[in-house]
Structure 1
Amino acid sequence: MGSFYYAQLNEENIVIGISELSGEVSNEKLIRIDNFNENLLGKKYENGEFIEVPKTEEELKEEKLQELKQKYLTFIKEADLLGDTAEKERLQQEYLQKKAEIENA
């Protein structure tokens, strides 16, 4: 008895989940796929293909903010662990400045 893999679509035909089921199903929002492929998440199912959906300016800005936050969190935590208060404060100010630049771009 094998597994059946499906890409679950939302109203806009965007993949919002990948499922492994014990049997076949017939549902227009479940598209049968060959394997458990998380790389399909966020893609659009159109004309029998999974295609990239262009990101909005807001989504791109949010990604940049998240990357910036992760980068600075590491630096700030390290400075804090080392007890370097001046460096920690400098990094916090630098982060806030770069964050504002992205938000106001």
Structure 2
Amino acid sequence: MTTYVITVPGTFLREVPDSVRSDVERRLRPQDPRHTDLGESEKLSLLSVDEDGMFAARVEVEAADQSRAEAEAKRLVSQALQDSGFTEENAPLGPAIVTGIDSEF
């Protein structure tokens, strides 16, 4: 298995109160990339949100390959958003991208 740090971009199409942002972060906390060497050295934030509503969620995922890691990261972020009251219509996600890889051989 390989540990990936995956960035999932998206856009909030409605205003997001700080309490809701905190709720999304809380739901993603088990996948916080700060637990990885890359996340620690790069000081990656779990969720960053711009003033225009664009956001980036960065999560740590273990998977057999890049494709599965990206799919799992997108699923995790989507679930955290849904559990916090967002649908795909008011918080659409972009394609997941690999931010870092930590392979163990």
TM-score category by the smaller chain?
A: under 0.3
Structure with higher strand content: 2
TM-score (norm 1): 0.26
TM-score (norm 2): 0.26
Structure with higher helix content: 1
